[in-house]
Amino acid sequence: MGENRLCKLLGIKYPIIQGGMVWVSNWRLASACSDAGVLGTIGAGSMTVDLLRHNIEKMRETTSAPFAVNIPMLRPDAAELGKTALDMGVKIFITSAGNPANIVPLLKRDDTVLIHVIPSVRGAIKARKEGVDAVVCEGYEAGGHNSPLEITTLALTPQIADAVDIPVIAAGGIADGRGLAAVMALGADGAQIGTRFIATTECQAHENYKKLLVDAADSDTCIIGRKLSLLRVVRNDFAKRMEDAERNGADDKELMKIIGNEFNRNRAAAFDGETVEGAFQAGQSAGLVKDVIPVAELVRRIIAEYDQARTALGAL
């Protein structure tokens, strides 16, 4: 187990959480992450209760290391997902995309750890009061659903570290060991990494999804649906149509029409690799993704980069 307080809280070797992304974080990725010494996370956001149950069972079969389940609060059945995981003995919960007030009493036990994802100092203080054990502070550069507050990881992390006394995990824009060292210099106890873990051998995402990330430049993600609910995706034909419509003042109804069936767009991206019309959720760190490698190799690389960045920081 690692020395720092986040590692001790979670029982993991390295202070890294694999982001519990919708559609692309099933047991296979999570299990590989947990085995590699970071916190693997099942992303329940895109799972039915039955599918979540299956994923937890597979985790149990394939790893003995700690793992988490991520539950977005925007799911109407968030409590049912949480209760299912709790009943199956899951000990670490990451709640995101909403207010954790209703679910905290359900999940809080002497032997559970609750982590909530927040986009602001106010959110962190509130989550702390609700009784969570740690917060993930997620910046504007992160992939997927994003806060309208748009505070970036670099600006947000030190303010959160100053505001709460519980462990702080920074998320958004981190894809290598330099990023991990950076957020820990800002006062975070560790990092949550999402996008980079999609481009791994074990991730279930379609090969086209991984290739999009490898090919992406720094400026190839964008926010769509600013008026509805911010979502950061790779800029493809679908995303461009959204950007154009928003630039031209489209109202909510017109935007919803362009999106059509959101479920299908996410599914088309993750499962079918539909590069033109899929919604490929990804963070700005996609520009740092240069290859698809096994999780164990990625974690070793991140730790080596961290050490290099750390030791290169000289006295001034």
Q: At a CB cut-off of 8 Å and minimum separation 6, what does 263 contact? A: none
With beta carbons less than 8 A apart as the criterion, state whether 161 and 130 touch.
Answer: no
With beta carbons less than 8 A apart as the criterion, state whether 136 and 165 touch.
Answer: no
Q: What is the CA radius of gyration of the chain?
A: 18
Nearest alpha-carbon partner for 283 in 215, 196, 180, 188: 196
Selected binder of a second copy within 114, 151, 169, 245 (CB under 8 A): 151
* Token duo for residue 141: 């550069």
With beta carbons less than 8 A apart as the criterion, state whether 204 and 28 touch.
Answer: yes
Give the binding range for a second copy (CB under 8 A) out of 39-47, 48-56, 90-98, 304-312. 304-312
Give the binding range for a second copy (CB under 8 A) out of 45-53, 74-82, 166-174, 196-204. 166-174
* Rounded distance between C-alpha atoms, residue 157 and residue 137, angstroms: 6
**172 near a second copy, rule: CB under 8 A:** yes
Nearer Cβ to a second copy (27/280): 280
Q: How far is the CB of 211 from a second copy (least distance, A)?
A: 19
Tracing tokens 């995402």 back to the chain, one arrives at 205
**158 near a second copy, rule: CB under 8 A:** yes
**303 near a second copy, rule: CB under 8 A:** yes
Selected binder of a second copy within 20, 173, 194, 225 (CB under 8 A): 173
Nearer Cβ to a second copy (42/134): 134
Selected binder of a second copy within 39, 42, 181, 234 (CB under 8 A): 181
Q: At a CB cut-off of 8 Å and minimum separation 6, what does 218 contact? A: 284, 287
Residues engaged in binding a second copy (CB under 8 A) = 2-4, 14-15, 120-122, 139-141, 149-156, 158-159, 172-174, 176, 178-179, 181-187, 217-219, 222-223, 227, 247, 249, 251, 283-285, 287-288, 303, 306-307, 309-310, 312-316
